[in-house]
């Protein structure tokens, strides 16, 4: 097998999106599985859409997810430069070559003329495509148009009557007829090359062997094949991954607020990068067997592009929450505290520079909820009852507290609390046992009234641990409020 070289080529027009992260991840897994090279190339020629910090953000969050690369703007490599904006001289040489051979030509049409042409074609029920009106301009025609002050773009001359076929790793045999594709612009009026031209040049010169990318690029493939053919180059192997859809099977749109879509948002919420890596790897790819939890090393070991799905990948939020919880449960509590503490600070529950006592309280709080926590920010809603002066009771809670045995159970427990020292979970558990003996109540009849009275909830972490963390005075006050 020839050397495997794959690339992820983001535009610095925004932050790392879940769909782009998946493209990068599948390329990364394939390269590492095949002992090949993973390259990151920055496609930054659309200067108007580039955002400040876009490139840094892409690289930062790929690293955060756990990926590394062999060549890029930050690590160098023998096929650089790795920013398209620094490769303009390279592209110039190739488009001048095409012009010289008559495989491309200068087009002087204005945007208004092209728009009018498109509208007329649509009105006639035709698929819009360039009519080729500048295809046969003479040197004199070109000189006249330039004298009018018109600047040309450069269009590729699409061969007539040809079918472009390729075997796609995901889709199998795919073909496009050349008559469905109008002569397309490869260089804008300002001399900046467009995507399909620049990407084909870059992929060839960087010796890219496989192009794994999203389904939305499939219509670009025949244009890139034409560029390869024009220069007599061997094209790479293509694989087009199916779209990611939401739970209603609608294409994931950046405006869809039901799904968090940017990797930095997951970091900010206190998700774990290794859980997200695992989750994204299963968006449109499946391993053999039923197992769903894999380390990065295991995914590298088992990744096979032949198992990329032919059906759209459903972004299942509940599965991500479940998966992150599986990872959270296995962490040392100190790590979970690091994820949770900033959120308690932001919510005003803990000062920015907590004292040792406050930090100990946070440690206990996180330890209490670690089994339940799916991500760091969740500690705020889970632990609300520890930061409330007054608690309210829902209808179910009120029904539990109105049962006939409740006053006796709560009075007995209140009496036990008076002299309870030290006020720790083991002692509290023993006290509840004594209440059971004194009242004859057990199971739900015993535990549920105590839990609801002191927490306002029917379910939660271990009751003795919860009571210890609430503190004796808070617990006594809440029980007295029920009894009064």
Structure tokens at 116: 């009018």
Q: Is 254 labeled as catalytic in the residue annotation?
A: yes
Closest CA relative to residue 18, chosen from 276, 272, 250, 211: 276
Closest CA relative to residue 185, chosen from 155, 159, 222: 155
User: Which position among 151, 251, 254, 433 bears the catalytic label?
Assistant: 254
The DSSP secondary-structure symbol of 235 reads P
Contact between residue 212 and residue 305 where contact means Cβ atoms under 8 Å apart: yes
Cβ-Cβ contacts under 8 Å for 97 (sequence gap 6 or more): 231
Contact between residue 432 and residue 463 where contact means Cβ atoms under 8 Å apart: yes
Residue 465: how many CB atoms within 10 A of its CB? 19
Beta strands in 163-220 (DSSP E): 163-168, 172-177, 185-187, 210-214
CA pair distance 140, 154, nearest whole angstrom? 17
Terminal alpha carbon distance of the chain: 81
Beta bridge mates, 237: 210
Cβ-Cβ contacts under 8 Å for 444 (sequence gap 6 or more): none
What residue has token string 């006592």? 357
Residue 35: how many CB atoms within 10 A of its CB? 8
CA pair distance 291, 296, nearest whole angstrom? 14
In sign, the C-alpha dihedral spanning 216, 222, 228, 231 is negative
CA pair distance 478, 365, nearest whole angstrom? 19
The DSSP secondary-structure symbol of 51 reads -
**What is the phi/psi pair of residue 183, to 5°?**
-55, 120
Peptide bond into 81 cis (omega under 30): yes
Beta bridge mates, 37: 5
CA pair distance 309, 286, nearest whole angstrom? 7
CA pair distance 286, 276, nearest whole angstrom? 16
CA pair distance 235, 224, nearest whole angstrom? 9
Beta bridge mates, 308: 285
Residue numbers annotated as active site: 254
């Amino acid at each position: 097998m020839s050397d495997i070289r794959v690339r992820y080529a983001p535009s610095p027009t925004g932050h790392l999106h879940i769909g782009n992260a998946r493209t990068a991840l599948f390329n990364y897994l394939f390269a590492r599985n095949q002992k090949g090279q993973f390259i990151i190339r920055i496609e930054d020629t659309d200067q108007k859409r580039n955002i400040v910090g876009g490139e840094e953000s892409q690289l930062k969050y790929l690293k955060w997810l756990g990926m590394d690369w062999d060549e890029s703007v930050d690590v160098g490599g023998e096929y650089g430069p790795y920013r398209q904006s620094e490769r303009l001289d390279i592209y110039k040489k190739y488009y001048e070559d095409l012009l010289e051979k008559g495989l491309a030509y200068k087009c002087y049409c204005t945007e208004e003329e092209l728009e009018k042409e498109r509208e007329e074609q649509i009105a006639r029920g035709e698929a819009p495509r360039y009519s080729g009106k500048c295809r046969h301009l003479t040197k004199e025609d070109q000189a006249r148009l330039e004298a009018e002050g018109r600047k040309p773009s450069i269009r590729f001359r699409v061969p007539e009557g040809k079918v472009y076929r390729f075997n796609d790793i995901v889709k199998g045999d795919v073909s496009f007829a050349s008559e469905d594709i109008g002569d397309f612009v490869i260089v804008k009026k300002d001399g900046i090359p467009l995507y399909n031209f620049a990407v084909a040049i870059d992929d060839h010169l960087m010796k890219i062997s496989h192009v794994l990318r999203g389904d939305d690029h499939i219509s670009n493939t025949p244009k890139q094949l034409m560029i390869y053919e024009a220069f007599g180059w061997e094209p790479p192997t293509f694989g087009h991954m199916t779209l990611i859809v939401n739970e209603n099977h609608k294409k994931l749109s950046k405006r869809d607020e039901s799904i968090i879509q940017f990797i930095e948002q997951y970091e900010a919420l206190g998700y774990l990068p290794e859980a997200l890596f695992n989750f994204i790897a299963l968006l449109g790819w499946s391993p053999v067997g039923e197992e769903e939890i894999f380390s990065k090393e295991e995914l590298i070991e088992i990744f096979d592009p032949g198992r990329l799905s032919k059906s759209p990948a459903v972004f299942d939020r509940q599965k991500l929450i479940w998966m992150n919880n599986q990872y959270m449960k296995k962490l040392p509590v100190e790590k979970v505290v690091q994820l949770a503490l900033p959120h308690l600070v932001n919510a005003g529950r803990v000062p920015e520079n907590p004292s040792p006592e406050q930090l100990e309280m946070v440690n206990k709080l996180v330890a209490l909820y670690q089994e339940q926590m799916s991500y760091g920010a969740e500690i705020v809603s889970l632990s609300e009852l520890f930061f409330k002066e007054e608690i309210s009771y829902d209808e179910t809670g009120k029904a539990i507290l109105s049962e006939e045995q409740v006053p006796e159970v709560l009075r007995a427990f209140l009496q036990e609390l008076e002299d309870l020292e030290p006020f720790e979970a083991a002692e509290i558990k023993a006290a509840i046992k004594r209440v059971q003996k004194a009242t004859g109540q057990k199971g739900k009849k015993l535990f549920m009234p105590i839990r609801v009275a002191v927490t306002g909830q029917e379910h939660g972490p271990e009751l003795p641990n919860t009571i210890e963390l609430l503190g004796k005075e808070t617990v006594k006050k809440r029980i007295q409020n029920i009894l009064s």
